[in-house]
Amino acid sequence: MRIWLSILFVAACTSGNATKQDASRLFVATTTAVQAAQQKAVSSTQAQLAPAPAARNLDYIGPCDGEGSFEIKGVYDDASGNGAAAAFDLQANFNNCVSLTHTALDGNLHWSSTSDANGFTASMSGSIAFSDQTTSATCDLDLHMAVSSSSISYSGTVCGYDVNTDLGI
C-alpha cells in the first residue's frame, strides 16, 4: 500500500503529463510516507541509545505498510528530549513502497528540518515515481516550509507546479 505524508515540499515533474491533482496527490503521499519512515527509524534506535535528548545516527531499512521497503539514513538530533527542539538531515529511499491506500512510491529524497520553541523550517528535494489506481508520474520535488507563531509559509514546486500559485498550498 502507498503512503503520503502531510508535510509540504516543492517538486518539479519530469513526466510532463502530471495534472495539478496528480501533483497534489503525489505531495500528500510522499510527505506521509517520509514521515512514517522517519518515525519508524527513530523508534527503532531508541532502545539502542541512551535516553533522550540524544543525537541518533539512523541507518534503517524497513517494510512499507502494504509492500516494498524504505531506507532512512542520516542524523536525527532531539536536543530537548521531547521533539520541541529537534533537527534532522535525512536521505529517504523508497523501493516500491506501497501504502494502505495502494499508492506506490519509488525514488530518493533529501529531507531536513530544524525546530525550536519559535517554530520550524523544513525542506525536501528529490525525485519520486508515484502511482496509484488512476495515475503514474515521475516528479522532482523541491519543497520548503517555515512555521512560526504567527505564520506558515510554503514555497517550491511539485511536478513542475508551484505549490502556492498552482496547487494552492
pLDDT, tens only, 8-60: 333 333 445 788 888 888 888 888 888 888 888 877 766 555 555 567 788 98
DSSP three-state, residue 37: helix
pTM of the shown model? 0.76
- Give the tens place of pLDDT for each residue, 83-103: 566 788 999 999 999 988 888
- pLDDT of 34 reads 83
The domain spans of the chain are 11-162
Taking the C-alpha atoms of residue 34 and residue 86, their distance in angstroms, rounded to an integer, is 17
